[in-house]
């Protein structure tokens, strides 16, 4: 009986070992025959209940079978390990010569890029960068810049006034508004710094405006100011030409047209030859070949006075250029509102 049992165990276990594909399956086979409750273990344990002669005979055979099965399992286990190692190596293999995936990273807004570029160009020509508050007093925004108190020019700029208690009774130095241009910083700066001076004032400005493709309620200006003993329109022209050339990375013609600003005299409007069609006439410049880009002029004597300088001793030019406009020209952007819409499909292109 026991003899048959050993044979059966040998056959069954042998087949099962052979069939095993994984270490887990093999472990189950081991437990079934050689584990604590395994069939062969049971036989080995029951040996001491047998008569001596039978015990010696059976014991020998059972132990041989045990050794045999242990060896077979060890051998199979080695084979399985070898196989899985090979296939997992296959799965993990990778080509180290393939270029890595570039992580997606953000970048600066096109207006910030343009502002940086403008700063870089002017700095290389000896200009420093100044700043002023966006919430400004009516005095700095208008009075100090020689706007007469009831002058329609104040309305011309579509100002966003701040609601204040008893506003009418406040002095203009206490009346608040969102600055309509960066020109108030001219006065603020001259008050604090003795000329000669060369500055640009990049910054955000605000106007009470109905928005459309070329108008926004807030946009950016780059103000320029140069003050010295002898400064002329010729200096202005040379500097602005150089700036435009470097900003647009091509030579552009400019022209000055007489204009009016209360804080400059004489005043002019600057046009440049359309960078799209190089002055030939296209839809961007409305077939004129020229584009209006900035206001400028020689600093008005009253502005010097309001800033505490004697206008007899100093001369200077000032200009204010729309950064949005310049950037739109540079990248052929047709709608100013795209800058402020936060649409990544637009922003991602710069
Ligand atoms: N501040 C003017 C504007 O907002 C531009 C300007 C600046 C004109 C400096 C003359 C001198 O349009």
Does 240 lie in the same domain as 159? yes
Residue 227 is predicted with a pLDDT of 98
- Tally the domains of the chain: 2
Six-digit token string for 316:
């200077």
To test the pocket of ligand 1, the residue of 182, 219, 320 to mutate (highest count of ligand atoms within 8 Å of its CB) is 320
Does 161 lie in the same domain as 26? no
Residue 43 is predicted with a pLDDT of 87
Residue 153 is predicted with a pLDDT of 63
Cα 156 to ligand 1 centroid, rounded to whole Å = 13
Stated length of the chain: 350
To test the pocket of ligand 1, the residue of 259, 263, 299 to mutate (highest count of ligand atoms within 8 Å of its CB) is 263
CATH number at 231 reads 3.30.930.10
Q: Residue 138: in which H helix or E strand, if any? A: helix 138-141
Indicate yes or no: pTM above 0.75. Answer: no
Does 119 lie in the same domain as 172? yes
What value does the CA radius of gyration of the chain take, rounded to a whole number of Å?
A: 44
Which residues approach ligand 1 with their CB closer than 6 A? 181, 183, 223, 261, 264, 295-297, 318-320
The string of DSSP codes covering 243-272 is HHHHHHTS---EEEEEEEETTEEEEEEEEE
Tell me the pLDDT of the chain (350 aa) as tens digits.
445 578 888 999 999 999 988 889 999 999 999 998 888 888 888 888 888 888 888 889 889 999 999 999 999 988 888 887 776 665 667 788 888 888 888 899 999 999 999 999 999 999 999 999 999 999 999 999 999 888 776 776 689 999 999 998 999 999 999 999 999 999 999 999 999 999 999 999 999 988 888 889 999 999 999 999 999 999 999 999 999 999 999 888 899 999 999 999 999 999 988 877 878 888 778 888 998 899 999 999 999 999 999 999 999 999 999 999 999 989 989 899 999 999 999 999 99
Does 338 lie in the same domain as 278? yes
Domain end position, chosen among 83, 98, 131: 83
Does 325 lie in the same domain as 211? yes
The alpha carbon dihedral of 42, 43, 45, 48 has a sign of: positive
SS3 call for 130? coil
Does 194 lie in the same domain as 302? yes
Does 256 lie in the same domain as 212? yes
Does 119 lie in the same domain as 20? no
Cα 22 to ligand 1 centroid, rounded to whole Å = 82
Residue 1 is predicted with a pLDDT of 45
Six-digit token string for 27:
């472990």
Does 184 lie in the same domain as 139? yes
Does 170 lie in the same domain as 76? no
Quote the domain boundaries for residue 304: 110-347
């Amino acid at each position: 009986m026991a003899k048959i049992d050993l044979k059966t165990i040998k056959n069954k276990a042998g087949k099962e070992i052979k069939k095993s594909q994984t270490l887990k399956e093999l472990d189950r086979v081991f437990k079934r025959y050689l584990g604590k409750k395994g069939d062969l273990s049971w036989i080995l344990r029951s040996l001491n209940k047998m008569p001596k002669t039978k015990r010696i005979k059976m014991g020998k055979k059972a132990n041989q079978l045990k050794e045999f099965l242990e060896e077979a399992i060890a051998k199979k286990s080695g084979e399985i390990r070898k196989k899985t190692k090979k296939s997992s190596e296959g799965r993990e293999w990778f080509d180290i010569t393939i270029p890595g995936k570039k992580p997606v990273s953000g970048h600066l807004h096109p207006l910030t890029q343009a502002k940086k570029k403008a700063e870089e160009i002017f700095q290389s020509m000896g200009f420093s960068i100044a700043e002023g508050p966006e919430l400004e007093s009516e005095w700095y925004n208008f009075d100090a810049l020689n706007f007469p108190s009831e002058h329609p020019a104040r309305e011309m700029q579509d100002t966003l006034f701040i609601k204040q208690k008893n506003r009418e009774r406040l002095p203009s130095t206490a009346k608040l508004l969102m600055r309509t241009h960066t020109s108030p910083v001219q006065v603020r700066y001259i008050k604090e710094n003795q000329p000669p001076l060369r500055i640009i004032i990049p910054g955000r400005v605000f106007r009470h405006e109905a928005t459309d493709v070329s108008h926004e309620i807030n946009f950016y200006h780059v103000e320029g100011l140069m003050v010295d003993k002898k400064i002329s329109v010729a200096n202005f022209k040379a500097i602005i030409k150089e700036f435009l050339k470097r900003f647009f990375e091509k030579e552009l013609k400019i022209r000055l047209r007489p204009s009016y600003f209360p804080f400059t005299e004489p005043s002019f409007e600057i046009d440049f030859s359309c960078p799209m069609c190089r002055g030939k006439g296209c839809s961007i410049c409305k077939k004129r070949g020229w584009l209006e880009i900035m206001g400028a002029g020689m600093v008005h004597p009253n502005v010097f006075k309001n800033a505490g300088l004697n206008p007899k001793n100093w001369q200077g030019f000032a200009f204010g250029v729309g950064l949005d406009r310049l950037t739109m020209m540079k990248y052929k952007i047709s709608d100013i509102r795209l800058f402020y819409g936060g649409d990544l499909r637009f922003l991602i292109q710069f």
